[in-house]
Structure 1
């Protein structure tokens, strides 16, 4: 490194890093997201000068999207070695046909890899090299997408991440031109990603076609957009505070559910604000305004019509449900129409097993598996092996009117009544009933019919098996 520590470019970077360093312990391990481009090269060099190489680890993500990706990895590793900085890299796969788009998919994969490497190196802070030009581009992109305040707030200088280290952007107040000046002052070498010139990507189109025109007519637009982002972040903070108040008022005994009545008691604007905040708190990605408006419309319809089981909104692999006055996100279940032989209105034919000690009985039409695990007779869902062997086991659909003895109440009750009394939602009642011959033996989510054991239940000694029903989403 050449000695230019007294240059104006050096002082600007040193001051920017000093602000974030003041919030960290003196011995904190700092990770640098290092792509090898101009911005991250400047950040790495300035960080070495500010805190020393020993406290740093340079992290590189190999996306495999460019034919030059291997060369970039080699450059980054060699540069880190020259600085005396620890280095790590991860390869990620990005699908070109990802529904979210290549840019979004690559960004998500990159952050997952960076979080994993931070954990591996016990880093306490992850520094990213975005600057004021990047912030201006982000605000413009969000404006053009019709984003709300959360989108317009763009990139935060410091962002806490659930399950990860804080993401810090020390250069967010600096212009790209200032980083270029620093790079030339200190004779840095960096790589150029050829994809940055491809204006088919929205951000590149802004950078190459729109930003120069704005600079010519509105020279201070970057600072103005940064103020817009700050104002939006402040306003979003107030909305989040209101949402926290509403969330506490709408909580139920279930830690991840909302009270249906409390939610729909809010006006539309406030209810939508709560829904957005609640989804973020559960780690769900943001939903569109149209999707959330549909959620609210359905929830209000339930209050009028009382058909809570009719609610169905799928999002990010989860399904929004309403049951017994609670609104919650359930694991998404495959629609019956997607099951071979079980389309709309189709019935599943009974299937039979002559049990000879099998531990697993796969039932593809129900997308699940019966498991017969070793157990003792005190297990409430255990049956004597002799009962499983005495007649063919048959799995069949509910037809209506089936009854099971409720041992606690000492009376026979319909399955519908038992499901209701145990709080099993309607959409979870489509399960295969297990018969021993013609005798109902086991009902998923209710349990074993012990009165079906007959004389076999009294024999001693004997082996017992616990019956479990496991859906595909739950079985490894």
Structure 2
């Protein structure tokens, strides 16, 4: 229930927050990104008044970019505690590498931290304090950068990024900064003024302090006009995305992790580029420039005509676009292997003293080992005696490179490297980063390759129960 508003600004803010709240289940918790600025302070204050403190969670990201960062963290914690709201904070490091925008690096680090804090607390809704002035500045920045429709669509009122667990909601997006400041003044809120907001070396600040004041004089309704531009762009982008989804049905391979080389090149350039942009965006990649994407498509067409794409490598945002065996896919950019191998990601080792469990969930792998009863008499030969699983502690380990196994039942058959076996079976590079199942120090099972016969005993009791091991991805949510 929305509290009785005392002033026009009070009413506008409470109604905006109430509307966003009405879109959620009655018991859903809400995370509010609290920077300490006027917009996020207003949002948290209003959220507590409308939803109640118990449903709110205040999240703060400490960038360490300002000498006042510790004081800001303390202020935000006190602000949340005064309202009876649970508070959490995370410190991040912002890249200072040459050629990397500090603004962009800080934004990316902030959203990663907010997403992590939401996921760890099982909160599926993240409220952000951006307002109409922010939206106008974003559209202007994108126009000046020559952005496409996705860029001009600017900030969506509600958006679930690819791979994220928390939907980002902007309840105040249609309200002006002046209206939020009026609310804050009337409520006697204390907020932080980040000194970097006055530094016009940053593009957004230059627009805010030097461009938009002039626009307000000559074009008083420019904020509404730019908001309409963003809405039109978003509508057009939705149509392009709908077309891309249709094209993905014919070109997608392995649940969207790869594209068919031939299917992609069957489209004209505009349609192929639209599909590639959509594929990258839904895969969680940073958008590539038109020039970079156009060059990638040109190279794909050239190797398509030549019939050989093994050497293709186009680096972008820490990954590399590769073409292999008729598929186009992304692999980790720090891999120096040819296109038939990918970088190996180290994960924490998990252990299990197996006592007949049917499933073993591995959160760090986002998947599950399934131990199913097997029927050898029915021809189920690729199985393991149950006693082998009890022989020693089971462990799930990352690949480190050089591991070998024997897939043949013949005792004198040689062992072979996992890399060679993956290549022989045509397993795409992005699917090779799998957990290796060990019993004690012996490699026992490799997803997509099967049982290591060298780990099994020479003599097997035919009457002994046997188990089939299956690896299933993404059974675990969150």
TM (norm. structure 1) is 0.71
Supply the distance in 2 between the matched residues of 1:16 and 1:254 (Cα, whole angstroms).
Answer: 38
Alpha-carbon distance in structure 2 between the residues aligned to 1:379 and 1:115: 50
Judging changes above 3 Å, is the alpha-carbon distance between structure 1 residues 329 and 197 closer, same or farther for their aligned structure 2 residues? same
Residue number in structure 2 paired with 1:166: 167
* Cα deviations by residue, 1:37-74 (Å, 9 ceiling, x for unpaired): 11111111111111111111111111111111111111
Q: What aligned pairs does 1:202-221 form with structure 2 within 5 A after superposition?
A: 202-221=203-222
When Rg is computed on C-alpha atoms for both structures, the one with the higher figure is: 1
Matches within 5 A, 1:398-417: none
Is 1:27 the counterpart of 2:27? The answer is: yes
1:370 and 2:402 equivalent? yes
Tell me the CA shift for residue 262 of structure 1: 1.5
**What secondary structure sits across from 1:35 in the alignment?**
coil
Partner of 2:299 in structure 1?
A: 298
Q: Distance in 1 between matches of 2:88 and 2:39?
A: 19
Q: 1:172 to 1:98 in 2, by over 3 A?
A: farther
The answer to whether the aligner puts 1:94 opposite 2:107 as a matched pair is no
1:330 aligns with: 331
CA shift at 1:302, angstroms? 2.0
Cross-structure match for 2:76: 76
Aligned to 1:224: 225
CA distance in 2 between counterparts of 1:380 and 1:258 reads: 40
What's the counterpart of residue 46 of structure 2? 46
Gapped runs of 5+ residues in structure 1?
A: 338-367, 385-394, 396-414, 427-444, 451-459, 462-476
Q: Does 2:154 align with 1:154? A: yes
Q: What is the CA–CA distance in structure 2 between the aligned matches of 1:424 and 1:123, rounded to whole Å?
A: 36
5 Å-filtered alignment, 1:39-438, equals 39-97=39-97, 99-161=99-161, 162-252=163-253, 255-332=256-333, 334-335=335-336, 369-371=401-403, 422-423=425-426
Aligned residues: 370
TM-score with structure 2 setting the length? 0.71
1:60/1:88 contact within 8 Å kept: yes
Alpha-carbon RMSD across the aligned residues, in angstroms, is 3.3
- Is contact 1:98–1:105 with CA below 8 Å preserved after alignment? no
Deviation digits for residues 166-198 of structure 1, max 9, x if unmatched?
Answer: 110000000001001111111111111100000
> 2:265 & 2:20 partners in 1: Cα distance?
43
After the TM superposition, which of the residue ranges 111-120 and 207-216 deviates more from structure 2? 111-120
Q: Determine helix, strand or coil for the equivalent of 1:245.
A: helix
CA distance in 1, matches of 2:122, 2:335: 40
Q: Secondary structure of the residue that 1:118 maps to in structure 2?
A: helix
| Deviations 1:81-116, CA, capped at 9 Å, x for gaps | 111111111111113236431111111111111112
Which has the larger displacement, 164-173 or 278-287?
A: 278-287
